[in-house]
Amino acid sequence: MPEQSPPYEPKIVAFLCKWCSSAGSDLAGVSRLQYPANATPITVMCSGSVSPQYILSAFKKGADGVLVSGCHIGDCHYMEGNYLARRKIYLVNELLQFIGIEPQRFRMSWVSAAEGAKFAKVIKDFVEDLKPLGPQEKLKGQRP
């Protein structure tokens, strides 16, 4: 047993758009890029389909950080899904900070299917930001 306890390993729930970020994460995998394994990917059809409820629910179930990742502006498979997501997620982000959730815990990114390296970087940065914060207890429910 090591004497020092290992640093906290945060759990991340990542909502990834099927058309881009999900493929981006695949590319990171097949390119053998090394990045932390803390993120649990959940593939959604579009970042615009991510309801604020999914985000709150992930926090309630004990996620230490939540990532929503979609296609770059102008690249949406459904033409305007990511425009709608940008508006909605902006408000979620503002509201979470307003009630006193650390801004590092929630993140949005645009990752295309060709940006495996960017996906790896987004996850790596996220994990690094979350480690010092420790477990997320604020929105976590008593029952899982």
Partner 1 sequence: MSNLEALRDQAKKLLAKGEVRAVIGYRKGSRGMAAEPVVITRPEEAATLVWDPTCFHNLALYLVEDQKRLGKEKQKADKPIAIVAKGCDARAIVVLMQENYFKREDVYILGVSCETTGMVDERKLACLGFGTLQSASFRGDDFVFSTVSGEKRVAASEVLADRCLECRAPFPKVHDVVFGAEKARSLASPFAALLQFEKSKTSIADRWEFWQHQFERCIRCFACRAVCPMCYCEECIVDSTRFVVAPDTTAEEKANRLRWIERSATQSDNMGYHLTRALHLAGRCIDCGECDRVCPVRIPLRLLNTRLEREVRETFGYDPGASVDVASFVSSFRDNDPGNFIR
Work out which of 11, 33, 36, 60 binds partner 1, going by CB under 8 A: 60
108 is written with which tokens?
């949005």
Q: Residue 119, SS3?
A: helix
The minimum distance between CB 118 and partner 1, in angstroms, equals 9
Widest Cα–Cα separation across the chain: 54
Sign of CA dihedral 119, 123, 128, 130: positive
Of 27 and 69, nearer to partner 1 (C-beta) is: 69
Between CA 114 and CA 39 the distance in angstroms is 19
Sign of CA dihedral 11, 16, 55, 120: positive
Work out which of 7, 29, 103, 134 binds partner 1, going by CB under 8 A: 103
71 is written with which tokens?
């296609």
Of 26 and 125, nearer to partner 1 (C-beta) is: 125
Q: Does 135 bind partner 1 (CB under 8 A)?
A: no
The minimum distance between CB 89 and partner 1, in angstroms, equals 8
Of 5 and 144, nearer to partner 1 (C-beta) is: 144
Footprint of partner 1 (CB under 8 A): 52-53, 56-57, 60, 73, 80, 83-84, 86-88, 90-103, 107-110, 122, 125, 138-143
